[in-house]
Amino acid sequence: MFIKRLRLVNFKNYRKIDITFKSNVVSLIGRNGMGKTNLLDAIYYLSFTKSAINSSDQQNINHGEDFFSIIGTLNKESKNYKVQCSYQNGLKKVFHVDDCPYEKLSDHIGEFPAVLISPNDTDLVREWSDLRRKFFDTLLCQIDKEYFQCLVKYNHYLKQRNSLLKLFAERKNQDRELIEKYDLELVISGSVIWEKRRDYLAAYLPYFESYYRKLAGKEVAQIAYQSDYAKGDFYENFKKHYARDLATQRTGFGIHRDDFEFLLAGKPLKKIGSQGQQKSFVIALRLGQYAMICNEKKFKPILLLDDIFDKLDDERIKSLSKILNEDSLGQIFITDARMERTQELVKEIEAEVEIFEVVKDGVHKIS
Amino acid sequence: MQYPSKLIEDAVSEVSKLPGIGKKTALRLVLHLLKQEEIVTSALSKSLQQLRQEIRYCATCFNISDTDTCNICASHRRDKSIICVVEDIPDVLAIENTGQFNGLYHVLGGIISPMNGIGPEDLNIDRLIQRGSDDVVKEVIMALSATMEGDTTSFYLTKRLKPHNVRVSVIARGVPVGGELEYADEITLGRSIVTRSPYNIAD
């Protein structure tokens, strides 16, 4: 996939810009706070229908205006598409592809895939399991429609079940027959999700492990999938937890409690990994995601690298540029605050490189 | 929007609470009423008040009624062995207008959705189970929305009706009459393929 042209109106700090991209590697240089990340975020919007940073569409409008729009000309499998995202204060966000609106925004997910590697990614290592689940959910939703539907269904019934438990507590009564229906639905969609998470992880791991080795050498990185469903007998287990669920007013069994444990040489990365190791781990996670989407979709997503060199030593930066070079990735956008570092990297990359400077009043092409 | 008078503002705010009415339409309606003779407004408010105070619901099926038992439940021409369960009153009118159903109704008054604070005891369910336990009743039709909540409610009612030896059926789901296949959504179309029915030449 390739972005040929990007037009922004009132998006974040940009009033109006129109940029044309010609190369496979696009480098965005600029001082802090000039809006490099916002450009990547605009591309992220076109892929995921939302911001990677701020989930409030309203706050992504340029200060003092009342709408924003992002228009991208994308080339996918040698066909051009005009993808447009517009949001006006108080109205619903609309997405058009070649001027046709989507009925549901979710239909767009996975059509124009992108992978973003951002400095916040190390949260995946440090924070709670919900972020790690979300990482794999985002990946699987992009490549498997059934997974997405099951997940929507599961979350809906889970919300209903938890509300029902609260209702029971409030009214001091209970109704096994109704809970049973929710258990049944959670078992049905939950087991599909469990199987898919297990199988896709097995398919994903070789990509991930190989990228980690390329980045960090001999250290062995692993991901272990932990799920309540591994215990089997889902339905019986829901029943067994019922008494405790009533007391805690929440569902204490199910795939919403799954975790993906990140391990380095068999030990938890969170505890023993240095910042550099954690950073390499999450870069490998993202590159694995990229490779997996490539494999499923048979074309290359757009790769967005936000301030990726931060916290990496020279050795690892070298390995990274080697990967960017060798693995015939598709179009890549790289942001960096330091011109020299980028020029150093650009020298190593054989593909055609464009460099843009991001300054206060816009984006200019340097070379 | 700025209004010239607090009275107008209050009236607009009340009228715009109605479904499908925005602030602009509300203002148009309010100004229209102001232009009419005073009697028009008082007739309107009187009929609304009366509606509120005197409306009654059928003690059997919870349909709107002027008497204790509604016309449908009271009619001797209706088939009393079959009950059609619906979510709300407009559904009764919709099914009546088809002219295809000659049984009785049961209006639940909503649908089970704990998220919105609606549990089984908030709906007219106990009365339905009581009706289902009557030997006269042979079949109960679930005519609820084809949503996750509709499905949950049908499941729950079926469970509760199970001890009473009535047949429980659910309305068919599929391609609309006069609809073109290519416009049907995948789930509906998939379902109509799976639950296809034998072709009947006599129809």
**Distance separating alpha carbons of residues A198 and A226, to the nearest angstrom:** 9
Chain B interface with A: residues with Cβ < 8 Å: 112-115, 117, 119-121, 148-149, 152, 155-156, 159-160
Residues B141 and B180 in one domain: yes
Nearest to A181 among B115, B121, B156 (CB): B156
User: What's the pLDDT at B203?
Assistant: 54
Same domain, B84 and B168: yes
CA of A73 vs chain B CAs: smallest distance (Å): 29
The number of domains in chain B is 2
CATH of the domain at B23: 1.10.8.420
Whether residue B192 sits in one domain with residue B103:
yes
Token pair of A206, please?
């070789």
Which of A156, A163, A175 has its CB closest to that of B148?
A156
- B22 assigned to some structural domain: yes
| Residue B126 pLDDT > 60 | yes
Burial of A197 from C-beta contacts in 10 A (0-12 / 13-18 / 19+): buried
- Give the residue-averaged pLDDT of A248-277: 87
- CATH level 2 (architecture), domain A1-113+301-367: 3-Layer(aba) Sandwich (3.40)
Task: Say if residues A192 and A146 touch (Cβ distance below 8 Å).
Answer: yes
Are B19 and B102 within one domain?
Answer: no
Q: Does A166 touch chain B (CB under 8 A)?
A: yes
ipTM of the complex: 0.71
Does the distance separating the beta carbons of A180 and B159 come in below 8 Å? yes
Same domain, B42 and B142: no
Per-residue model confidence (pLDDT) at position B155: 93
The answer on B193 and B101 residing in a single domain is: yes
Is the CATH code 3.40.309.10 the one for domain A122-298?
no
Kindly state the DSSP code that residue B69 receives in the 8-state scheme.
S
Tokens, residue B178 = 């006069």
Domain ranges for chain A, please list them. Answer: 1-113+301-367, 122-298
Q: What is the mean pLDDT of residues A116-137?
A: 88
CB A37 within 8 A of CB A344: no
Rounded to an integer, the average pLDDT of B7-21 is: 91
Average pLDDT over residues A237-259: 86
Q: Which of A34-43, A324-333, B128-137 has the lowest mean pLDDT?
A: A324-333
> For A84, phi and psi rounded to 5 degrees?
-130, 130
For residue A185, give the chain B residue with the closest CA. B152
Residue B63 lies inside a defined structural domain of this protein: no
Measured between beta carbons, the chain A residues lying within 8 angstroms of B114 are 160-161, 163-164, 166-167
Question: CA distances (Å), A107 to each of A111, A196, B136, in order?
Answer: 8, 20, 49
Same domain, B37 and B92: no
Residue type, B177: V
Q: What is the pLDDT of residue A64?
A: 84
Does the pLDDT of residue A346 top 80, yes or no? no
pLDDT confidence of residue A307: 85
Domain that holds residue B136: 70-198
Residue B60 belongs to a domain = no
What is the structure's pLDDT at B202?
67
Residue B65 is assigned to a structural domain of this protein: no
Sequence letter at residue B155: F
Check whether residue B86 and residue B35 sit in a common domain.
Answer: no
Q: pLDDT per residue over A137-175, tens digit each?
A: 988 988 888 898 899 999 999 999 999 998 888 888 888
Q: Are residues B92 and B179 in the same domain?
A: yes
- pLDDT tens-digit readout, A299-336: 888 999 888 877 777 778 778 877 877 767 788 898 88
Q: Are residues B43 and B85 in the same domain?
A: no
DSSP for A6-51 reads EEEESBTT-SEEEEE--SSEEEEE--TTSSHHHHHHHHHHHHHSS-
**DSSP assignments along A248-261, one per residue:** HTS--SSGGG-EEE
Does B105 share its domain with B171? yes
Question: Taking a C-beta distance cutoff of 8 angstroms, is the pair A235, A181 a contact?
Answer: no
Do B29 and B106 lie in one domain? The reply is: no
pLDDT tens readout for residues A168-212: 888 888 888 888 889 889 999 999 999 999 999 999 999 999 888
